[in-house]
Structure 1
Amino acid sequence: MTDYLRAVIDMIGPPENRYADPAAWARLEAELDMALPTDYKTLVDAYAPIQINGHLSLSHPATEWWNLGEEIRIRRVTGHGRPGSGTGRTTSSPTRVSSADCRTWSSASGAVWSR
């Protein structure tokens, strides 16, 4: 059986775990009244906030920008992304992200990851 979590970590690179915060996950799961998958929380803790190849955005419940809890609350109210965004995505304004917080990864296949 393929270890998909290990495969993703190997593809993206060493985890940084900049915002790993069990208390933030506990608050979010209590608010949602459900437990989130452990593999999902491991990936989010390892890399978030990040956008992979312009298609997959991972937000974290412990960050001020790209906050997972805020995004879930907005989606519950509006049924889609930030009101007026027209994209269905819930990312914060790029001006709130400093260049020190941004990274770009690319693989041999040409896929690009940015943070």
Structure 2
Amino acid sequence: MYDPAALEALVAPPSREVPPVDWQQLEERLEFALPLDYKWLVERYGPGSFGDFFRVFQPACQRQGIDLEYQHERTSWALEYLVERGHSLPRMPSELLAFGRSDNGDVAYWITSSSDDPNNWKVAVGEARGPLWEEFDGGVVEWLTAVLSRSYRVAIFPKDFPRRHPAFHPYDL
């Protein structure tokens, strides 16, 4: 279960107002529901960077590099391409939904096959230019909190991430 207060205590959210999201319309376009912790994260932090390194994809964002729908299509295509070329993945592309990316290009995914309830989806991280994958038994907010607090180390990420006092840097869109 995610703890919003734990993430907020670790990384202060921006003081600026975050644009509202029409979740119903977005979920109709995607044809599936999204986890409540992700919705909270988007509504509380909005577009930006955690620790100048990790970005959470945003709904209906004019920047394609962080737009959830665009990145879902792009990463799904890339994963399918790899499978078609004989690469082995720990999960089928249809089981993964990208929700964020590091500056190094490593992608964080929800494992949609881990539960029928999106609030119970687990997290996987795939290395950008290599075969490494790892899974985390929790949702996006729980994963971010664990990574940013250093209680969970993502082996794919650089050893110096996160810094001792991680911050959130909002984007001006």
TM-score (norm 1): 0.60
The AA in structure 2 aligned to 1:39 is: D
Higher helix share: 1
* Residue 29 (structure 2) pairs with residue 31 (structure 1): yes
Aligned to 2:164: 109
The count of corresponding residues between Structure 1 and Structure 2 is 91
Aligned to 1:95: none
2:58 to 48, 53, 60: 60
Distance in 1 (CA, whole Å) between partners of 2:54 and 2:4 is 15
| Aligned residues of 1:18 and 1:46 also touching (Cα < 8 A) | yes
Go from structure 1 to structure 2 and tell me whether the alpha carbon gap of 1:40 and 1:5 turns closer, same or farther (over 3 Å shift): same
Distance in 2 (CA, whole Å) between partners of 1:9 and 1:57 is 16
CA-atom RMSD, angstroms? 3.1
Instruction: Tell me the alpha carbon deviations over residues 40-64 of structure 1, each in whole angstroms, 9 at most, x when there is no partner.
Output: 1111121121211244311211321
Go from structure 1 to structure 2 and tell me whether the alpha carbon gap of 1:12 and 1:111 turns closer, same or farther (over 3 Å shift): closer
Aligned to 2:158: none
Go from structure 1 to structure 2 and tell me whether the alpha carbon gap of 1:60 and 1:3 turns closer, same or farther (over 3 Å shift): closer
Q: Which stretches in structure 2 are left out of the alignment for 5+ residues?
A: 81-97, 99-103, 108-162
- Highest CA radius of gyration, 1 or 2? 2
* Residue 53 (structure 2) pairs with residue 41 (structure 1): no
Aligned to 2:105: 87
Higher strand share: 2
| Aligned residues of 1:48 and 1:59 also touching (Cα < 8 A) | no
| Aligned residues of 1:49 and 1:60 also touching (Cα < 8 A) | yes
Q: Which has the higher contact order (CA 8 A, sep 6+)?
A: 2
Distance in 2 (CA, whole Å) between partners of 1:5 and 1:113 is 15
The range that moved more, 12-21 or 28-37, is 12-21
Go from structure 1 to structure 2 and tell me whether the alpha carbon gap of 1:9 and 1:110 turns closer, same or farther (over 3 Å shift): closer
Distance in 2 (CA, whole Å) between partners of 1:3 and 1:79 is 28
- How far 1:39 sits from its partner (Å)? 1.5
| Aligned residues of 2:48 and 2:169 also touching (Cα < 8 A) | yes
Percent of residue pairs bearing the same amino acid type? 22
Q: Which stretches in structure 1 are left out of the alignment for 5+ residues?
A: 90-107
| Aligned residues of 2:49 and 2:168 also touching (Cα < 8 A) | yes
Q: Which runs of 4+ in 1 moved over 6 A?
A: none
